[in-house]
Amino acid sequence: MSLSDKALLRYDRQIVLKDFDIEKQQQLATANVMIVGMGGLGCIVATYLASSGIGRLTLVDPDTVSLSNIPRQILFTEDDCGKAKVDVAKQQLALRNKDCHIVTYPYAIDDSEIWFERCAEHDMIIDCTDQLYSRQQINRLCFTTSVPLISGAAIRMEGCVISFTWKKDEPCYECLSHRFGNSVGSCVENGVMSPLTGVIGSLQAMEAIRHLTHYGCQTEGRYLLYDAMNFSFTPLKVKRNPHCSLCA
């Protein structure tokens, strides 16, 4: 696929990046990415991916907009309360980049065959959900279909990002979920500072672009923790769990 003159102008600041070039911008234009969860993380990820020139996005979320979403979920306004998140997001993203083809599913994912098929149609899945069981489910879908997964989480004043590309000896999300146990709640119970989802969602979008275009270093199995209270980022190496209930 060759880029139009307008696209070359529009994405000029990315194209001039050393070693990125037109070729990688074209890879973004042909990429098909599914974002699960259109909350604080999903709104940021979708905004940056649509803006950066990703060709196709699939948005998944069963929820409607509520007033307490607005501080973090920057695609929505008060007037959108009660409307399906995926519908409002699609409208807003189309204003931002009408060349981005957007498909919406206003449903929760589950273990049915159709979700394995939908997952397999994509080049990458981005987990922007905020429940442990959803993360485990997305991990199962991606592990089974070998579709790369960028997982992000943001709660209180802490967040993390990790990428899974299913290379040999690489961990899966389940390998590290024992770190969280059943003690992990959602932002509903624990609260979250609004810009935190912006930081983590931006990191997820950056990792998505890097992995889709093989740009920069490989980060599989590396876990980046952000502690907003202490102004610190900590990279950790995560090993595969030989007793993992999914990938062992």
Six token digits for residue 90: 């699609």
Direct distance between the N- and C-terminal alpha carbons of the chain, in angstroms, rounded to an integer: 39
Query: 154 φ, ψ to 5°?
Result: -145, 125
- Choice between 127 and 174, CB closer to Zn ion: 174
Provide, rounded to whole angstroms, the least separation between the CB of residue 143 and Zn ion.
8
Binding site for Zn ion (CB under 5 A): 172, 174-175, 244, 246-247
Q: Quick count: other Cβ atoms within 10 Å of Cβ 191?
A: 11
Q: Quick count: other Cβ atoms within 10 Å of Cβ 232?
A: 9
Provide, rounded to whole angstroms, the least separation between the CB of residue 173 and Zn ion.
7
DSSP state of 102: E
- Choice between 31 and 247, CB closer to Zn ion: 247
The answer to whether 224 touches 203, Cβ cutoff 8 Å, is yes
Using CB positions, name the residue nearest to Zn ion: 244
- Dihedral sign computed on CA atoms, order 37, 38, 40, 42: positive
- Choice between 100 and 175, CB closer to Zn ion: 175
- Choice between 129 and 177, CB closer to Zn ion: 177
Instruction: State how far the Cα of 65 lies from the Cα of 85, in Å rounded to an integer.
Output: 6
- Choice between 70 and 246, CB closer to Zn ion: 246
Provide, rounded to whole angstroms, the least separation between the CB of residue 248 and Zn ion.
6
Provide, rounded to whole angstroms, the least separation between the CB of residue 246 and Zn ion.
5
Provide, rounded to whole angstroms, the least separation between the CB of residue 110 and Zn ion.
20
